[in-house]
């Protein structure tokens, strides 16, 4: 029996072949020729050699994977890669990190020691002693006229009396704030460009795909020049944001969700792809108990128009209505809680949302106990203070806004989104509101926010 149970590969000689051979021998008995036995042995030896060689080649291919099985029954066993890997597959991450790391800086936010100890800013105005209040990260993205510009987060530089940038070499330089935008949590700083040669390349965040490997570079927990790696969990995630950090969600941010570790101090640093391009600015993470690997970065396609506006104007120009508000839903929840409390005292105000600055802090005023709203009206925004265009048009304390133009407004988040995404400076705006239970409408012109408003 041969290796294959098939006559094509068999070394056996069939009965028919032997019979034919005997006939030929009788027909040409008198002709001189070589021995039939000798010729058969040569053929058998040659065939055996060929079969052995074929078997060796076949077995070699089966065991090494270097042989193309085509579409035969063994085709599914073909290895995914038949070529030999000649370089370290992780070298790509090393090269990408090396390309960007010199452009990543640590940001030090210094504030008055007296203010940090609880003194009012005006009382501490004469104090000179500053101390480190916050740490963050940033990335150098352009070099212009002897200066370099750095992108970071607005919350990294908030309330700073002085700012410093620590280069990857360890050198510390004074930094100047060009502008910051709390709505998008972005800021731009400027430092002297002497000796700085590396500028990060800004990529197109729309090219990101779920599952793509990315890296976060920054200054987590004060450990400067630190690198973490993960994948893109979702390319476009919309999350609610509390601008005043008071638990009231009054804005929505479009972000890239990643599972790369982003810790305190990483904020403002770059999220890069394996080509060393900045695809996002690390901004926040979910730090609830039991939550791991949920971090967020602001996409570069969303960030760069804001950055350009900060460079051009020192701020982001947006249409300004001029109202500080509380959501009706929040107010009704507080009233219900007050009714359930024993002792009859009111719960503390859990936070109110202003249109631009966040928490309302003018005089701590809360809405009167009875807004005189129709029973079917359970959503809207209560005006706690009207300034600028709103005051000029006649809006007052305790008015409840329920519509802007034809758009229903149920919360401060709705109000902001409609103003910032659908209107522009100079546009007219119809405001529908309730005052003392009566539905009214007024028209005003949106303008840019003036200094001091």
Catalytic residue among 106, 185, 226, 273: 185
**Displacement of CA 187 from its chain's centroid (Å):** 17
Q: Give ∠ CA 390-392-395 in degrees, rounded to 5.
A: 45
Active site residue 345: no
Catalytic residue among 112, 224, 267, 283: 267
Q: Report the alpha-carbon distance of residue 255 to residue 273 in Å, rounded.
A: 16
Place of tokens 């809006």: 395
Q: What are phi and psi of 254, to 5 degrees?
A: -85, 125
Catalytic residue among 155, 205, 226, 250: 155
DSSP conformational letter for 406: T
Nearest residue to 296 via CA among 240, 338, 224:
240
Supply 364's token pair. 């701590």
CB 97, CB 198: distance < 8 Å: no
Active site residue 14: no
Please count the other Cβ atoms lying within 10 Å of the Cβ belonging to residue 288. 7
Active site residue 267: yes
Q: Report the alpha-carbon distance of residue 105 to residue 199 in Å, rounded.
A: 11
In Å, what is the CA distance from 356 to each residue of 19, 95, 276? 106, 42, 36
Nearest residue to 105 via CA among 340, 269, 284, 313:
269
CB 250, CB 353: distance < 8 Å: yes
In Å, what is the CA distance from 159 to each residue of 144, 219, 241, 263? 27, 20, 20, 21
CB 133, CB 115: distance < 8 Å: no
Number of continuous H segments (helices) and E segments (strands) in the chain? 9, 22
CA 308, 311, 315, 320 dihedral sign is negative
- Catalytic positions, please? 155, 185, 267
């Amino acid at each position: 029996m041969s290796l294959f149970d098939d006559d094509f590969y068999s070394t056996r000689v069939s009965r028919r072949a032997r019979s034919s051979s005997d006939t030929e021998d009788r027909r040409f008995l008198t002709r001189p020729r070589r021995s039939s036995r000798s010729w058969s042995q040569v053929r058998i030896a040659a065939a055996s050699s060929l079969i052995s060689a074929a078997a060796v080649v076949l077995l070699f291919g089966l065991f090494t994977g270097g042989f193309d099985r085509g579409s035969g029954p063994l085709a599914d066993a073909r290895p995914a890669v038949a070529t030999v890997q000649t370089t370290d597959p992780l070298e790509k991450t090393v090269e990408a990190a090396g390309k960007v790391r010199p452009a990543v800086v640590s940001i030090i936010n210094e504030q008055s020691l007296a203010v940090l100890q609880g003194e009012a800013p005006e009382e501490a105005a004469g104090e000179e002693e500053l101390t480190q209040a916050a740490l963050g990260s940033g990335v150098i993205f352009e070099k212009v006229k002897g200066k370099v510009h750095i992108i970071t987060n607005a919350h990294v530089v908030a309330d700073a009396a002085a700012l410093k940038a620590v280069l990857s070499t360890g050198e510390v330089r004074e930094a100047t704030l060009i502008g910051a935008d709390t709505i998008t949590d972005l800021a731009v700083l400027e430092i002297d460009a002497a000796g700085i040669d590396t500028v990060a390349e800004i990529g197109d965040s729309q090219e990101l795909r779920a599952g793509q490997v990315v890296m976060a570079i920054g200054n987590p927990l004060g450990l400067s020049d630190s690198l973490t790696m993960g994948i893109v969990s979702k390319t476009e995630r919309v999350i609610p944001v509390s601008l005043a950090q008071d638990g009231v969600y009054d804005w929505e941010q479009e972000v890239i969700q990643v599972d790369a570790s982003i810790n305190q101090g990483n904020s403002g640093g770059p999220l890069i792809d394996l080509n060393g391009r900045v695809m996002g600015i690390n901004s926040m993470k979910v730090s609830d108990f039991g939550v791991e690997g949920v971090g967020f970065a602001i996409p570069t396609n969303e960030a760069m128009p804001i950055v350009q506006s900060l460079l051009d104007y020192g701020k982001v120009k947006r249409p300004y209505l001029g109202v500080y508000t509380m959501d009706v839903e929040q107010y009704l929840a507080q009233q219900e809680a007050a009714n359930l409390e024993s002792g009859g005292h009111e719960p503390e105000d859990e936070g109110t949302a202003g249109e631009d600055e966040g928490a309302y802090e003018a005089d701590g005023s809360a809405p009167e106990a009875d807004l005189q709203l129709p029973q079917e009206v359970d959503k809207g925004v209560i005006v706690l203070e009207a300034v600028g265009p709103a005051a000029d048009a006649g809006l007052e304390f305790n008015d409840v806004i329920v519509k802007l133009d034809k758009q229903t407004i149920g919360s401060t988040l709705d109000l902001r989104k409609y103003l910032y995404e659908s209107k522009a400076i100079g546009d007219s705006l119809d405001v529908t509101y309730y005052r003392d239970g009566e539905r009214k409408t007024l028209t005003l012109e949106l303008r840019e926010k003036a200094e001091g408003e």
